Structures are given as C-alpha cells and as structure tokens.
C-alpha cells in the first residue's frame, strides 16, 4: 500500500471511530432521556390510578354515608365521585394508549368499577326508596363488599395496573442503565483506540522524520560525491585541454615541417634541373659546331653525356613525384578507373604512334579513391606495361577488376617481358631494378611510387610474373 493511502487510512479510521462513538453516545443519551420520560409517565399513571382509587373510595364512603343517613348531600357527593371515577378511568386509558396489556387491564378495571358502582347504585336506590327503614345487611352486602360478585376488587385491578407500570419502569430503567454502561464502555474503548492511533501516528511521524534525516544524510553524501566528481571532471577537462593544445602544437610543427619539405623538394628539383639543361645544351652545341673536329667516338661520348643527362632528369621528376605522393592528402571520391585507364593509355600511346598494342579495359570499374593519386599510379603501371611490351609482338595490356575474399582487386596485366619471381620482393623498393638499362630504361622509382599510393589508400599491392610471359600487377584500395 502506498504511503499516501496508508496515511489516509490512518486519518479516516479514527475519524470514523469518533463519529461512531458520537452516534452511540447519542443513542445512549436518547435512551436515558427516554427512561426519564418513562419515569414521569409511570408516575403520572400511578398518580392517575391512585386518583381513580381515591375517587372510588370517596364514592364508596359517600354511598355508605347515604346508606346510613339517607342525606341527599351524600348522594350528590357520590354522584360527583362517580363522575370523577369515570373521568379518571378515561384519563388512565388515554395515558396507557400505547400499551395493549394495560388497556386490557383497564378494560377489566372498568368492568369491576361498573360492577361495584352498579352495586352501590342499587343499594342507594334501595335507601332512596326506603329512607328511614333499616336495610338488611344481605341486601347491602354487594355494595359494601370489595368484590360484589367474587371477581377481583377494584383495588386489586388498580394495583395490577400500578404493578405493571412499575414493572415497565424498572425495565426501562434497566435499559437506561445498560445504555449508560454501553456508552461508558464504547467511550473508553474509543478513547483507547484513539490513544493507540495517536501513538501509532506519533510513531509514524518519528519514522518519517528519521527517514527524512536519512535522506538528507544521503543527499549530503551525494552532494559530496558530486563535488568530487566535478573536481575530477575539471581535472579531466584541464588534461583534455592540455592534450589538445599539445596536439595542436604537434600538428603545427608537422605542418611547418611539411611546408619546409615541400619548399625544399621544389627548389631542389628546380635547381637540380637547371645545370642539366646546360650540360645537355652545350654538349649538343659541341657536337653540332665542332662536328668536323669530332670523330665517331667523340660524337658517341657526347651522346652518352646527353643520355646521362636525360636519365638524371627523369630521375629527378620521378623523385619529385614520389615525394608529392607521400605528402599529399588522400581525398577519396568515386573514380571511374576504366575511364582513367583509357585516358592514360591514350596519352601514353600518343607519343608512340608506330606501336600496335591491344588494349583491353574492363568497363565501369569504379573505386573510392583519390583521382590524382590514381592517375599517377596508372601512369606508372600502364607506362611500365607499355614499356615492357615494347619488344613483344602482339602486345596486349589489360586492366580490370576481380572480387576475392570480400574485397575488390584491380589489376593491370601485360604479356611483355615479365620478371623473375625470385626477385619479386625488390620490385616495389625504390631504385631496385630487375632490368638493366640496356633492356628497358627506367628510374626504378615508378613502382615504389605506386606502392606508396596504394598503401596510403590502406590497400595492398603485389605482382606475379614469369620471364618472357608477362606480368600482372594487382592491388586493393582498402575500400
């Protein structure tokens, strides 16, 4: 039961008991008043009964006196007394209207009275008719006797009525007494109950207070903990702020070093190329302007010088590209690799119009990658494929994708010179070459660049090949 309900119960029960008590007391009091009324009533009845008896006695005396003296005043006295008796009896009847048994007794009384009075009337009539004669006792006996015909006397009748009235009174008195006692008991009981309820209520109050105190103690505890928590929190945010600051510093340092690196590589590549131009230009000038002095060997030397210069230029370009790939951010978007491959093929083939290469590009190969980096990767991979098929008849280069192990694998395959699988590990290392310059020119950086691009996409790259049977370069892009 919820505390509220319980509280309500504790409130309504005493109230109800108090009301009950009130009602019981009221009833008891009513009974008491009732009893008092009845007492008065009984007294009245008795008085009335006594009056009737008195009147009866007066009538009796008056009749006797007349019988003795034949004086008319006694007769009129008798008449008056008789009237009193009847009136009194009527009044008595009216007073005990509600009591059937009393009414019955009164009916009997009336009969006895009328019999007695009848007897007296007869005797008085006798005297009236014989005012001076002596009357026989036998003739007077019914009038003088208490019971003219042997039935109960009037006195007895009245006494019976009185007794009944007394009985009723004591009964009512007993009832009143019982009511009083009941009232007393119920009052005492209710009082005890109220006291008990009060005690319980008081107890509840104490409990409630104790609960409140406990709660406030807990609240204080929580408050203290809260304080500690915010303290810890503050520490945490302070540490966080410090950390962020450090991260910011490092990022800035990194940016600065990145920028420095960029500037460095930019100026390096530029400054390294400048002398190359000089070397190349003047070697050629030498060959052209002093051709009459130079023999075939001399011209050959100059060619070698120029060759060296070219290679150095390509190397610088490749290195620059590699460093750019390392530094640039990978910005992924949907890239149509098929289109890109076709484009790069076209560009690279544009300068080699005399070659006949079969190109196969799987259509609609789309990947989520950085388009600029992918272009660099394709330029290197496709460039390689074209380079290594330059001495192959029926050269074929293809680009496509396959699915394997839940990831997409892209590949570029050629049927060119291939490579020895024994040295596959060195393929992607910068400056490691598996073919000499005599066979195929190259910087040895291209695949290192592609490898770096693939790794920056969180992908993997691997190669398979066989000497004279071509090579397949496969890679994933960590999608």
Partner 1 sequence: MSESMILLVEDDPDHEALAIRALRKANVANEIVVARDGEEALEFMKHVLDGTQRPPQLVLLDLKLPKVEGLDVLRTIRASDRTALLPVVVLTSSDEERDIVASYRLGVNSYIRKPVNFTDFAEATKQLGMYWLLLNQCPPSQ
- Footprint (CB under 8 A) of partner 1, residues 279-318: 280-285, 306, 309-310, 312-313
- Footprint (CB under 8 A) of partner 1, residues 375-414: none
- Footprint (CB under 8 A) of partner 1, residues 124-183: none
List beta partners, residue 108.
none
Tokens describing residue 479: 């999608």
Tokens describing residue 25: 């007391």
C-alpha 374/C-alpha 457 separation (Å) is 10
Q: What torsion, rounded to 10 degrees, do the Cα atoms 243, 244, 247, 251 define?
A: -170
- Nearer of residues 17 and 314 to partner 1, judged by Cβ: 314
- Nearer of residues 39 and 315 to partner 1, judged by Cβ: 315
- Concatenating the DSSP letter of every residue in 90-121 gives HHHHHHTTT-HHHHHHHHHHHHHHHHHHHHHH
- Nearer of residues 231 and 307 to partner 1, judged by Cβ: 307
- Nearer of residues 163 and 285 to partner 1, judged by Cβ: 285
C-alpha 254/C-alpha 261 separation (Å) is 10
Binder among 10, 23, 266, 290 for partner 1 (CB under 8 A)? 266
C-alpha 342/C-alpha 350 separation (Å) is 12
- Nearer of residues 165 and 280 to partner 1, judged by Cβ: 280
Shortest CB 468 distance to partner 1, Å: 32
Tokens describing residue 189: 């009981």
Using CA atoms, how far residue 71 sits from 66, 77, 81, 109, 140, in Å, is 6, 10, 16, 29, 17
Shortest CB 384 distance to partner 1, Å: 22
Binder among 25, 32, 268, 276 for partner 1 (CB under 8 A)? 276
- Footprint (CB under 8 A) of partner 1, residues 313-342: 313
- Nearer of residues 73 and 289 to partner 1, judged by Cβ: 289
- Nearer of residues 210 and 270 to partner 1, judged by Cβ: 270
Shortest CB 439 distance to partner 1, Å: 22
What's CA 57's distance to the chain center, in Å? 97
Shortest CB 309 distance to partner 1, Å: 6
Binder among 278, 331, 360, 429 for partner 1 (CB under 8 A)? 278
Shortest CB 374 distance to partner 1, Å: 17
Binder among 134, 274, 296, 393 for partner 1 (CB under 8 A)? 274
Pick the closest to residue 356 from 411, 400, 397 (CA basis): 397
Contact status: 423 vs partner 1 (CB under 8 A): no
- Nearer of residues 273 and 426 to partner 1, judged by Cβ: 273
Shortest CB 455 distance to partner 1, Å: 24
Binder among 27, 41, 273, 441 for partner 1 (CB under 8 A)? 273
Helix/strand/coil percentages in the chain, nearest 5: 70, 10, 20
Shortest CB 310 distance to partner 1, Å: 6
Shortest CB 322 distance to partner 1, Å: 15
Binder among 8, 141, 252, 270 for partner 1 (CB under 8 A)? 270
Number of residues that bind partner 1 (CB under 8 A): 18
Shortest CB 302 distance to partner 1, Å: 11
Shortest CB 295 distance to partner 1, Å: 21
Burial status of residue 98 (CB atoms within 10 A of its CB: 0-12, 13-18, 19 or more): exposed
DSSP classification of residue 290: T
C-alpha 222/C-alpha 137 separation (Å) is 120
C-alpha 164/C-alpha 3 separation (Å) is 61
What's CA 66's distance to the chain center, in Å? 110
Pick the closest to residue 162 from 86, 84, 102 (CA basis): 102
The residue behind tokens 């190349």 is: 280
Contact between 161 and 45 (Cβ < 8 Å): yes
- Nearer of residues 415 and 443 to partner 1, judged by Cβ: 443
Contact between 467 and 418 (Cβ < 8 Å): yes
C-alpha 307/C-alpha 286 separation (Å) is 15
- Nearer of residues 228 and 277 to partner 1, judged by Cβ: 277
Shortest CB 262 distance to partner 1, Å: 9
Binder among 128, 141, 252, 277 for partner 1 (CB under 8 A)? 277
The residue behind tokens 């071509």 is: 470
- Footprint (CB under 8 A) of partner 1, residues 436-475: none
Q: Contact residues for partner 1 (CB under 8 A)?
A: 266, 270, 273-274, 276-278, 280-285, 306, 309-310, 312-313
């Amino acid at each position: 039961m919820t505390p509220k309900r319980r509280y309500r119960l504790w409130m309504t029960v005493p109230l109800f008991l108090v009301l009950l008590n009130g009602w019981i007391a009221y009833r008891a009091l009513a009974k008491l008043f009732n009893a008092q009324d009845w007492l008065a009533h009984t007294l009245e009845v008795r008085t009335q009964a006594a009056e009737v008896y008195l009147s009866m006695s007066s009538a009796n005396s008056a009749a006797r006196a007349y019988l003795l003296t034949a004086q008319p005043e006694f007769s009129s006295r008798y008449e008056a007394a008789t009237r009193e008796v009847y009136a009194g009896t009527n009044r008595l009847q009216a007073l005990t209207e509600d009591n059937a048994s009393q009414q019955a007794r009164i009916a009997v009384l009336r009969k006895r009275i009328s019999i007695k009075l009848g007897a007296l009337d007869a005797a008085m009539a006798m005297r009236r008719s014989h005012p001076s004669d002596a009357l026989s006792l036998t003739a007077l006996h019914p009038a003088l006797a208490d019971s003219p015909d042997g039935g109960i006397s009037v006195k007895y009748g009245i006494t019976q009525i009185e007794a009944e009235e007394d009985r009723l009174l004591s009964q009512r008195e007993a009832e009143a007494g019982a009511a009083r006692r009941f009232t007393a008991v119920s009052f005492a009981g209710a009082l005890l109950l109220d006291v008990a309820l009060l005690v319980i209520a008081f107890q509840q109050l104490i409990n409630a207070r104790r609960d409140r105190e406990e709660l406030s103690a807990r609240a204080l505890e929580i408050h203290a903990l809260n304080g500690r928590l915010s303290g810890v929190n503050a520490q945490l945010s302070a540490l966080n702020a410090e950390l962020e600051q450090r991260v910011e510093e490092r990022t800035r340092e990194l940016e600065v070093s990145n920028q420095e690196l960029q500037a460095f590589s930019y100026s390096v590549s530029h400054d390294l190329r400048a002398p190359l131009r000089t070397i190349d230009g003047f070697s050629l000038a030498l060959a052209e302007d002093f051709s009459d002095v130079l023999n075939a060997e001399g011209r050959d030397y100059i060619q070698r010088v120029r060759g060296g210069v070219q290679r150095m230029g390509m190397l610088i370009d490749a290195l620059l590209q590699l460093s750019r790939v390392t530094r640039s951010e990978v910005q992924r978007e949907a890239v149509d690799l098929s289109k890109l491959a076709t484009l790069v093929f076209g560009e690279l083939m544009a300068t080699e119009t005399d070659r006949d290469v079969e190109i196969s590009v799987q259509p609609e190969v789309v990947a989520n990658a950085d388009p600029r980096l992918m272009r660099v990767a394709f330029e290197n991979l496709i460039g390689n494929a074209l380079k290594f098929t330059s001495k192959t008849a029926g050269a074929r280069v293809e680009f496509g994708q396959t699915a394997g192990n839940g990831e997409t694998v892209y590949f570029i395959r050629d049927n060119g010179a291939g490579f020895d699988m024994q040295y596959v590990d060195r393929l992607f290392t910068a400056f490691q070459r598996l073919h000499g310059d005599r066979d195929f020119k190259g910087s040895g950086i291209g695949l290192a660049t592609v490898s770096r691009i693939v790794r920056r996409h969180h992908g993997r790259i691997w190669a398979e090949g066989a000497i004279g049977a071509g090579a397949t370069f496969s890679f994933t892009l960590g999608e």
